Amino acid sequence: MASKIVSSRMLTCFGMGRLLPHMVDWCKSKGATDIVVSFNSPDNLEDRSGTMHKAYRVTNLIFPKDNKFTLLHKNISLYGAKQDVWKLNYRNFITMEKL
């Protein structure tokens, strides 16, 4: 059952809902103290179907609102594309266990 605190999009996403705790644990076992992820910035969205624009709205509306991620950098050139870099604040989005 979905928590009222956690967005349903995150709970139904296999990567964020089920794999994230394992990925975080692996990173921490290698010595990580902060974990960051990147997503395409709006300046890099060339998808005509609107899929990438929808994904961008999700990252910029849901992530900060639920405090799951904290925006660190906007529009940096990373892997040949403009990216927004976010810091992960939770180990598990289902239980809302903080890092």
Residues 75, 43 contacting (CB under 8 angstroms)? yes
pLDDT values of the chain reduced to their tens digit, one per residue, 99 residues: 344 444 555 555 777 778 889 999 999 999 999 999 887 776 655 554 555 555 555 555 555 567 888 889 988 888 788 888 889 999 988 888 898
Pairwise CA distance, residues 99 & 17, whole Å: 15
Question: Which tokens is 27 given?
Answer: 């990173």
Q: pTM of this prediction?
A: 0.68
